[in-house]
């Protein structure tokens, strides 16, 4: 069964059409990668799936577990199990990481009609997940992402993936700005979250991330359309031949 | 309906009424005749069974007030106030009998405070917090008086202190805010009704938090509280005040005077959570809050720290200040001022460095939303003999929406070349990126704004006594409801 079905999706930003008819289906439990050159619409796709203001759907539809996502606010989508790890995680001065995590977790639970967790329960759960990602107690007490290194910010995104346990995880250029050690750590954090009832959409510019997070399918996005799809080998072909050659051949 | 609006409405539904203290207590009141005149002054003084010297003091203030004009320099706009068209004294009739203990207090009054979240029975009170409950022009109950007495701490309504401790009151009253200080302080000196008196003796660390809860209930009536706190040598006291009022379409006047005196080595920490009725979304009603608060660091190494969370009132005109007279004395001012809808706030502080090696710190966080105007106005003044004075000022403003304003008006004067004065100021908006990030993690819009604003205010919220910090954080969120979406 498909967890996500994107059908001929068109999205405009500031009146300019960026996505020009995307069609894509991700079965439950599969990891799909979207690769594409700069400006192909990768981030636009991730923001549109998360429901960000200003990303106007001008055509097509997005079905998530059979339900239309269009028109739902980002917080509703999050409560339904859609998670977006951002390319550039945002700093929130004065709000400690643990406070932010507790607020978000309980907001999602409340929206789903589940009981809220108290501070101790949240802390225990966060600590369990933080250990594997080498996130220190000190980082949890600091304001969210404020003064964090690039690698720390990305690990914090993956911590949230582990904490919220979404059904659909969209990872937008999670590898950008990471050195090889940080990349391995983040990738193993992501792999730990692969599960039969969880699908992932991994958006990346480079093939190297896909050496560590091996996808079931690879799609190439160019000029707002998916021009070709294939297995993990397609990523390696892109790396060798370059986007231009592959896009042209498609 | 957009998802944004839906979210906003859902949150508003969850939290219920935006201003939950807007109810009126139906109780029989005794009032002075309408108007501010000599008769009203005499009436108040006689109702409080004051000694002759107090009446004379009031009358001299009234004579002075008649020659004064209302200050117009603040960045607040309101139609002319008819000072003769209001009541200056209102007290529940049931208080006439002067209840000796809580059992004798009118149950309607106890119920009012219970609804406000301030149970007055000592068993139910927050452990470690003593409360003086002021209802319109009178104090209706003061808790833990006996326990505090054991430590030598005097904590009572000021009307009682005038009768029972006249020497202390005469020695200090009006020595920080003189009778002639300004239009509103002078008016208060003539007609002040009730407030709190605190005296902490030498070397005593006050064993509990002291607090006063001010409630305006009667219509067309002003509240003119007067608070006097004296910390004798090497003593310490932490005091907190809270304030609420019913929802009404008329404006009501609140003109308070607070005087703090810290003698050698003493420290006073004074916190305010001001939540007077702010008026409605159209700017109808709300309290006019014209307040004079000043602390005198009279002795060496003394310290006075003001922390204020100002979320209520249609107009706030308030500058809690420190006179740093004693050498090595320290003054602090931590402020959060939130204005939404049509609220206007002109607030800040004055740090007057008179002594050597005096230090002051100012942290001001102004948040403006809706069509509100929020002004920080502050003075740092270093006098000629104040060698090595230090000041650091941090003024941050946050704007929510496109129709509000934030203004920063710092005055700096230095007559001593050794002074070091630093002023930092920022103005920012909640960024779309921050808001989207919080939303994408499942936090609804109004809650996201409250979270981000609480983060912005963190440095100040941390200064509040533990018991009140959580309440203040919630208040920050509630005050901004309806400001987005």
For residue range B351-361, list pLDDT tens digits in order: 999 999 999 99
SS3 content of chain A, % helix, strand, coil (to 5): 40, 30, 30
Helix or strand run (H / E) with residue B184: helix B183-191
Q: How far is A49 from chain B (nearest CA, A)?
A: 10
CB B327, CB B299: distance < 8 Å: no
B15 to chain A, any CB pair closer than 8 A? The answer is no
Collect all residues with Cβ–Cβ distance below 8 Å to B222 and sequence separation of at least 6: B86, B87, B88, B252, B253, B254, B255
CA Rg, chain B, in Å? 22
pLDDT at B125: 57
State what percent of residues in chain A have pLDDT above 70. 100
**Cα–Cα distance measured from residue B147 to residue B132, given in angstroms and rounded to the nearest whole number:** 14
CB atoms within 10 A of CB B456: 24
List of chain B residues whose C-beta atoms are within 8 Å of the C-beta of residue A74: 436, 439-440
To test the contact with chain A by mutation, choose from B440, B456, B470 the residue with the greatest count of A C-beta atoms within 10 A, namely B440
Give the ipTM of the model, two decimals please: 0.96
Q: φ, ψ for residue B436 (rounded to 5)?
A: -65, -40
**Cα–Cα distance measured from residue B329 to residue B296, given in angstroms and rounded to the nearest whole number:** 10
pLDDT one-digit tens code per residue, B239-284? 998 877 778 888 889 999 999 999 999 999 999 988 888 888 888 8
**Cα–Cα distance measured from residue A31 to residue A215, given in angstroms and rounded to the nearest whole number:** 5
pLDDT one-digit tens code per residue, B116-147? 777 776 655 555 677 888 877 777 777 788 88
pLDDT at B252: 87
What average pLDDT does the structure give for chain A?
93
**Cα–Cα distance measured from residue B351 to residue B380, given in angstroms and rounded to the nearest whole number:** 5
A146 to chain B, any CB pair closer than 8 A? The answer is no
Query: Are the beta carbons of A79 and B442 separated by less than 8 Å?
Result: yes
pLDDT one-digit tens code per residue, A67-89? 999 999 999 999 999 999 999 99
Confidence check: pLDDT of B3 > 50? no
CB A94, CB B454: distance < 8 Å: yes
CB A40, CB A204: distance < 8 Å: no
pLDDT at B122: 62
Helix or strand run (H / E) with residue B242: strand B236-244
CB B215, CB B243: distance < 8 Å: yes
List of chain B residues whose C-beta atoms are within 8 Å of the C-beta of residue A76: 3
Q: Which of B439, B444, B455 sits opposite A92 (nearest CB)?
A: B455
Per the document, the length of chain A is 250
Tell me whether residue B482 is exposed, middle or buried, using C-beta atoms within 10 angstroms of its C-beta: 0 to 12, 13 to 18, 19 or more: middle
Q: How far is B334 from chain A (nearest CA, A)?
A: 16
Q: How far is A57 from chain B (nearest CA, A)?
A: 14
Q: φ, ψ for residue B240 (rounded to 5)?
A: -135, 140
Handedness of CA B47, B48, B53, B54 (dihedral sign): negative
CB B295, CB B270: distance < 8 Å: yes
Q: How far is A71 from chain B (nearest CA, A)?
A: 7
Confidence check: pLDDT of B484 > 80? no
A79 to chain B, any CB pair closer than 8 A? The answer is yes
pLDDT one-digit tens code per residue, A22-59? 999 999 999 999 999 888 999 999 999 999 999 999 99
State what percent of residues in chain B have pLDDT above 70. 93
Confidence check: pLDDT of B462 > 80? yes
- pLDDT band at B485; cut points 50, 70, 90: low
To test the contact with chain B by mutation, choose from A104, A147, A161 the residue with the greatest count of B C-beta atoms within 10 A, namely A104
Beta bridge partners of B304: B268, B331
List of chain B residues whose C-beta atoms are within 8 Å of the C-beta of residue A88: 433
Closest chain A residue to the Cα of B445, Cα to Cα: A75
pLDDT one-digit tens code per residue, B393-416? 999 999 988 899 999 999 999 999
What's the mean pLDDT in B383-387? 96
The tokens for A42 are 């990768």
Confidence check: pLDDT of B329 > 80? yes
- Distances from the Cα of B124 to the Cαs of A12, B117, B127, B317, in angstroms? 59, 11, 8, 35
CA Rg, chain A, in Å? 18
CB atoms within 10 A of CB B406: 22
How far the first Cα of chain A sits from its last, in Å, is 28
CB pairs under 8 A between A and B: 93
What's the mean pLDDT in B190-214? 91
The boundaries of the domain holding residue A18 are 2-249
**Which CATH number belongs to the domain containing residue A219 in this structure?**
3.40.50.300
- Give me the residues of A, 81-120, that contact B with CB < 8 A: 84, 86, 88-95, 99-100, 103-105, 107-108, 111
**Cα–Cα distance measured from residue B325 to residue B337, given in angstroms and rounded to the nearest whole number:** 28
Query: Are the beta carbons of B439 and A73 separated by less than 8 Å?
Result: yes
- If one counts the domains in chain A, the total is 1
**Cα–Cα distance measured from residue B395 to residue B459, given in angstroms and rounded to the nearest whole number:** 12
Q: How far is B191 from chain A (nearest CA, A)?
A: 43
The tokens for B67 are 């020659």
Taking alpha carbons only, the member of B439, B458, B450, B434 closest to residue B482 is B450
The tokens for A241 are 């031949």
DSSP A91: P
Q: Which of A76, A77, A94 sits opposite B456 (nearest CB)?
A: A94
Q: How far is A61 from chain B (nearest CA, A)?
A: 17
Give the residue carrying structure tokens 């108290």.
A118
Structure-derived torsion over alpha carbons of residues B337, B330, B194, B275, reported in degrees to the nearest 10: 10
Q: Which of A72, A84, A90 sits opposite B433 (nearest CB)?
A: A90
CB B158, CB B165: distance < 8 Å: no
Per the model's pLDDT, the better-predicted residue between B17 and A148 turns out to be A148
A165 to chain B, any CB pair closer than 8 A? The answer is no
Q: Which of A73, A79, A93 sits opposite B3 (nearest CB)?
A: A73
pTM over 0.95: no
């Amino acid at each position: 069964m498909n967890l996500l079905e994107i059908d001929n999706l068109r999205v405009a930003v500031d009146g300019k059409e960026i996505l020009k008819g995307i069609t894509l289906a991700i079965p439950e439990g599969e990891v799909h990668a979207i690769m594409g050159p700069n400006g192909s619409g990768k981030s636009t796709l991730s923001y549109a799936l998360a429901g960000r203001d200003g990303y106007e759907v001008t055509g097509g539809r997005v079905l998530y577990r059979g339900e239309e996502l269009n028109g739902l606010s980002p917080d509703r989508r999050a409560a339904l199990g859609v998670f977006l790890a951002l390319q550039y995680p945002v700093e929130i001065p004065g709000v400690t990481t643990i406070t932010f995590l507790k607020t978000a977790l309980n907001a999602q639970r409340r929206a789903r009609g589940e009981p809220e967790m108290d501070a101790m329960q949240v802390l225990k759960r966060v600590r369990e997940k933080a250990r594997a990602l080498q996130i220190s107690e000190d980082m949890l007490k600091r304001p969210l992402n404020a003064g964090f290194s690039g690698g720390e910010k990305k690990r914090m995104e993956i911590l949230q993936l582990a904490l919220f346990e979404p059904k659909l995880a969209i990872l937008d250029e999670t590898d950008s700005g990471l050195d090889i050690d940080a990349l391995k750590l983040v990738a193993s954090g992501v792999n730990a979250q692969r599960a039969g009832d969880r699908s992932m959409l991994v958006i990346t510019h480079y093939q190297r991330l896909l050496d560590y997070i091996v996808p079931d399918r690879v799609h190439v996005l160019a000029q707002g359309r998916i021009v070709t799809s294939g297995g993990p080998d397609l990523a390696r072909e892109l790396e060798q031949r370059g986007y231009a050659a592959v896009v042209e051949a498609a | 309906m957009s998802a944004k609006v839906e979210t906003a409405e859902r949150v508003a539904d969850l939290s219920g009424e935006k201003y939950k203290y807007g109810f009126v207590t139906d109780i029989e009141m005794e009032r002075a005749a309408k108007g501010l005149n000599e008769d009203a002054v005499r009436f108040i003084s006689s109702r409080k069974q004051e000694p002759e010297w107090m009446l004379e003091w009031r009358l001299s203030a009234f004579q002075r007030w008649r020659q004064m004009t209302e200050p117009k320099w603040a960045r607040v706009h309101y139609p002319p106030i008819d000072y003769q068209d209001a009541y200056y004294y209102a007290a529940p009739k049931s208080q006439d009998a002067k209840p000796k203990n809580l059992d004798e207090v009118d149950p309607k009054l106890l119920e009012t405070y219970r609804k406000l979240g301030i149970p007055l029975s000592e068993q139910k009170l927050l452990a470690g917090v003593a409360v003086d409950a002021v209802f319109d022009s009178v104090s209706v109950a003061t808790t833990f008086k006996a326990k505090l007495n054991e430590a030598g701490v005097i904590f009572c309504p000021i009307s009682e202190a005038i009768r029972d401790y006249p020497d202390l009151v005469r020695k200090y009253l009006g020595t920080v805010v003189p009778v002639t200080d300004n239009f509103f302080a002078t008016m208060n000196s003539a007609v002040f009704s009730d407030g709190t008196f605190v005296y902490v003796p030498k070397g005593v660390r006050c064993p509990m938090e002291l607090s006063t809860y001010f409630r305006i209930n009667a219509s067309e009536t002003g509240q003119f509280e007067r608070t006097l706190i004296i910390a004798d040598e090497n003593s310490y006291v932490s005091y907190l005040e809270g304030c609420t009022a019913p929802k009404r379409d008329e404006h009501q006047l609140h003109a308070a005077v607070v005087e703090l005196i810290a003698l050698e080595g003493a420290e006073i920490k004074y916190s305010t959570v001001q939540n007077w009725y702010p008026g409605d979304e159209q700017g109808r009603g709300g309290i006019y809050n014209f307040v004079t608060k000043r602390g005198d660091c009279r002795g060496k190494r003394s310290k006075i720290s003001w922390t204020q969370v100002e979320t209520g009132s249609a107009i706030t005109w308030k500058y809690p200040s420190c006179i740093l007279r004693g050498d090595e004395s320290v003054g602090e001012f931590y402020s959060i001022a939130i204005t939404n809808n049509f609220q206007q706030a002109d607030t800040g502080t004055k740090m007057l460095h008179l002594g050597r090696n005096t230090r002051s710190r100012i942290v001001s966080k102004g948040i403006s939303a809706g069509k509100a105007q929020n002004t920080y106005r502050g003075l740092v003044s270093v006098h000629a003999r104040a060698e090595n004075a230090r000041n650091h000022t941090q003024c941050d403003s946050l704007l929510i929406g496109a129709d509000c304003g934030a203004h920063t008006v710092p005055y700096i004067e230095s007559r001593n070349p050794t002074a070091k004065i630093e002023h930092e100021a920022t103005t920012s908006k909640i960024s779309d990126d921050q808001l989207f990030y919080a939303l994408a993690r499942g936090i609804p819009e109004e809650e996201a704004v409250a979270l981000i604003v609480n983060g912005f205010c963190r440095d100040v919220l941390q200064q509040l006594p533990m018991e009140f910090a959580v309440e203040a954080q919630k208040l920050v969120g509630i005050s901004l409801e309806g400001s987005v979406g």
